[in-house]
Amino acid sequence: MVTPTIGRMVHYYPPKESSSGPPLAAIIVCVWSDTCVNLAIFDKEGKPIEKPPTSILLIQEGNEVPSGGHYCTWPPRV
């Protein structure tokens, strides 16, 4: 498990009904727990999304991805 900290980059996945395609870039701005964070989220043009959702589920390695709702994950290691 990776401990989330402010300033770390994650991939944000919006609810399926509002978007499809690749994840959006996001930065952790508040840590509530190892699995709950607030994010600054950027659209596909690199502009910050105004009033982003809060208390986003952070999926840790080995955890199941939810079928609905939004969540974020660590970027894959390359």
What are residue 31's DSSP bridge partners? 37
Q: How does pLDDT run across 24-34, given as a tens digit for each residue?
A: 999 999 999 99
Residues 7-37: b if buried by 16+ CB within 10 A, e if exposed: ebebbbbbeeeeeeeebbbbbbeeeeeeeeb
CA distances from residue 26 to 21, 23, 62 in whole angstroms, order as listed: 15, 9, 21
Mean pLDDT (whole number) for 42-65: 91
Furthest CA-CA distance within the chain: 31
Domain ranges within the chain, ordered by starting residue: 9-73
Whether this model's pTM surpasses 0.95:
no
Mean pLDDT (whole number) for 44-61: 93
